[in-house]
Amino acid sequence: MAITRVGQISIPVGDQQRALDFYTQKLGWELSADVPMGDDGRWIEVRIPGAETGLVLFAADEHKSRIGTTSDIMFNTDDIEKTFAELTGQDVEIAQPITTEFWGTFFMFKDPDGNTFLVAGTDSAQAA
């Protein structure tokens, strides 16, 4: 198969600079690209340290209806309690506290635009 990995995932945002500040300062992710794109846009890509997949923070008029929705993106962590504490310590909005289901343990958080993401313990990733 010629497809080898997920390259980028796009996250619709209303304010690219505010989103960049959130993902790099509050979540501690790395900036991997920030270049002008079009008349007033930017191609902004961040990565979880050590990850191959980039997250593109884009602000396109045709995708405004997607801003502030529940994402289909699930992040994993080796220590869910520690990750939850780190995010709450950074005043990240928690959409759902740590919860345990038959498939594993998770919590949900929101970015400044209201996009909601699930963070699952690595035991959850193996069970799902």
Considering its fold, how many domains does the chain have in total? 2
Whether residue 60 is found in the same domain as residue 99: no
Q: Is 1 among the domain residues?
A: no
- Other beta carbons within 10 angstroms of residue 65's beta carbon come to 8
Whether residue 85 is found in the same domain as residue 61: no
Distance CA 122, CA 40 (A): 39
Average pLDDT estimate for 104-117:
97
Q: Is 91 among the domain residues?
A: yes
Could you read off the pLDDT of 79-102 as tens digits, one per residue?
999 999 999 999 999 999 999 999
Distance CA 63, CA 4 (A): 27
Report field, pTM of the whole predicted structure over 0.75: yes
Domain that holds residue 33: 7-67
Whether residue 55 is found in the same domain as residue 89: no
pLDDT of residue 61: 83
Whether residue 75 is found in the same domain as residue 116: yes
Q: Is 60 among the domain residues?
A: yes
Whether residue 78 is found in the same domain as residue 112: yes
